[in-house]
Chain A
Amino acid sequence: MVIAAKLLADAVTKSGCRAQSFAAYGGERRGGRVESYLRISEEEIPLHSKVYEPDYVIIMNESLAQDPAVVSGIKDGGGVLINSPEPPESFPSLGNLSIQTIDANRIAAENGVLLPSGLPVISTTIIGAVAALVPKIGIEELAEAERCFHCGNCDLCENCYIFCPDIAVTFDDKICSFTIDRNLCKGCGICIAECPRNAISWEDGL
């Protein structure tokens, strides 16, 4: 969610607007409730506080739609987007708000956008729907912003190190990066598949 807001902020900035994104959560833990905020403006954004009166509320986990606090403060004419396989009518507790739903879990699963654990990645999936909902966010800018997360630069996430079945990937202190020991590498390519930033590539003829 934090990344989704950041990507959207990147995208609107690329189209010439100003943007601001941040998140609020307690101690980091799995399954915890996270709020992230996004402000978009054609002018400088002076506010540095949480968003209390949003134009849009995006609910990533449909169980949260039952909590009235989640949509409290939403502006008149504002919209709610819920990640759910159910139609908008199945959320009567939200009253007269304009509701749309999108089944981001299914879309992510169908397109193979999965975490190593097999869970679908809903954050980058749902922002496509957000772009359709919010007029200031262009899909092309969004694609460009998303590309930044696959820029080819290693950020030392250790995926290659963890997933290599042959312990061929080791960390080299001298260059402060990972290297592949070619005596041990069997060429399975798992590291390439697991690298989130396209920093590893095939080299023929070795």
Chain B
Amino acid sequence: MIKVITGNEAAAYGALLSRPAVVCAYPITPASRVVEQISEFYAQGLLKGKFINVESEMEAIGYVIGASSGGVRVFTATSSQGLAWMHEGLHWAAGSRLPIVLVNVNRPIAAPWNLTSDQSDSLSQRDTGWMQFYCESNQEILDSVIQAYRVSESVGLPSMVCLDGVYLSYLAESMEIPDQEKVDEYLPPYKPTFPAGKVTATRYKLWDDSAPEPGGYSVDDYMESRYVLHKLQGRCVDTVLKANEEFKELFGRSYLPVEEYKAEDADVVVVCSGSAVGTCRYVIDRLRERGHKVGLIKLKMFRPFPKGLIRKALARRKKVAVIERDMIPGQCGIFCQEIKWALSTEHQSVPVYGFVSGLGGHDITAKLIEKAILFTVQEDPPEQEVIWLGLEEKKVSDEYDKGTIKIY
């Protein structure tokens, strides 16, 4: 069925089709519509099970951790300050290896107050042990929620499906809602591999073949439990690839952790993630028409960082541009830093140009992307780690301008 729905509604439909037994979420701009739509599904009788109203995001994550520990499929959604408020629960969920799926609508973290679009919120949770997937379109949001359950329940780690505020959350576009029977075939009812109701500490034993006795890890085994968490990351990429392969067979749509677009013979590639990827595709098409050998690398999966795939995609390039909607104060963007790390371990000397753009909902326009790519093609690698793309002119006093590169 083709429908015109917003990114938030697409996330809600993804949850509906995945048949969670418990949904618990606290509405927050710009993700409120996810929860509202799901509550409508319950009111219409389309979703069975429990929808639990709570007073905060801290409670929401607490409830889904509890329900997931009890052995059922759960769903929650939040954004920005709400995700930050969940922070300690996020560590708990990953440490307990609970296959929770959380939809995060990317919104800036205050101050200053801003309700639009920025990926700093989920990226600041990057070391909690959750898998993270960044979506390009509404179709991808819906499909990613379904795939995330498949992957999470297979590996035994929680997933965060991220979508940009405003540019996806409020944007309505034509997309296909898959049939329930097909989704049921792809995603069978959740069967926990541990006895339902057991406390979470036992999970490590049940998931880790090498643990000696039932009872799993305790206070003294924290380091060993971290070791297991570390080793598990290595399984994630393969699981995602396999889950995607089967998804493609059933639904005809594919979302690779690292996707190359017109990059086969490209000397210069741009790496991008989230809603701006589509705009990058548009720009690459136009630049190709004008004879530039440029391509796009879409990074869908950020955690665990698919460094092998990234190396493969970037190692042979002359130059790499990274355009992203987040930043590390005093350094470059977060994606850029990870990419440099992935390349450095192989002693590669591919120059990486780090562009920070679109913070606080600024539009990453086709024009800006084109300027960034042409800058990368034409200019020598700058000493500066970050190039500011799309700052508004004359809003910041000149005293800050020493040694910065700005592209308006």
Contacts and interface: CB of A to CB of B under 8 A. Distances in A.
Same complex: yes
A48 B278 contact: yes
A24 B137 CA distance: 18
B174 A20 contact: yes
A21 B4 contact: yes
B287 interface: no
A197 interface: no
A45 B168 CA distance: 13
Nearest to B173: A20
A156 B37 CA distance: 12
Interface size of B as a range:
20 to 34
B282 interface: yes
B4 A22 contact: no
Interface in A34-88: 45-50, 52
Contacts of A155: 40
B172 A20 contact: yes
Contacts of A23: 170
Contacts of A156: 43
Interface in A1-28: 6, 9-10, 13, 17-24, 27
A27 B4 CA distance: 25
A177 interface: yes
A188 interface: no
Given A9-B172, A22-B172, A47 B40 contact: no
Interface residues of A, number: 25
Contacts of B4: 6, 9-10, 13, 19, 21
Contacts, number: 71
B168 A48 contact: yes
B124 interface: no
Given A10-B4, A48-B168, A176-B42, 20 more contacts: A6-B4, A9-B172, A9-B173, A9-B174, A13-B2, A13-B174, A18-B173, A19-B4, A20-B172, A21-B173, A22-B166, A22-B172, A27-B115, A47-B279, A47-B366, A48-B136, A48-B167, A48-B171, A52-B367, A176-B43
A128 to B, nearest CB: 19
A4 B391 CA distance: 32
Contacts of A177: 43
From DSSP, what is the main secondary structure of chain B's interface residues?
A: mixed
Contacts of B282: 46-47
B278 A46 contact: yes
B171 A21 contact: yes
- Scoring B3, B171, B172, B363 by chain A CB atoms within 10 A of each residue's CB, the highest score goes to B172
B275 interface: yes
B281 A46 contact: yes
Interface of B: 2-4, 6, 40, 42-44, 115, 136-137, 164, 166-168, 170-174, 275-276, 278-279, 281-282, 363-367
B278 to A, nearest CB: 4
Contacts of A45: 173, 278
Contacts of B164: 48
Given A6-B4, A46-B282, A52 B43 contact: no
A19 B279 contact: no
- Scoring B2, B168, B174 by chain A CB atoms within 10 A of each residue's CB, the highest score goes to B174
A206 to B, nearest CB: 26
B129 to A, nearest CB: 30
Interface string A164-185: 0000000000001100000000
Contact of A20 (B43, B171, B363): B171
Nearest to A18: B174
Q: What 6 A-B pairs come out closest when comparing CB atoms?
A: A22-B171, A46-B278, A48-B275, A20-B173, A46-B281, A13-B174
Contacts of B42: 176
- Scoring B4, B6, B171 by chain A CB atoms within 10 A of each residue's CB, the highest score goes to B4
Contact of B172 (A21, A46, A47, A176): A21
Interface string A82-109: 0000000000000000000000000000
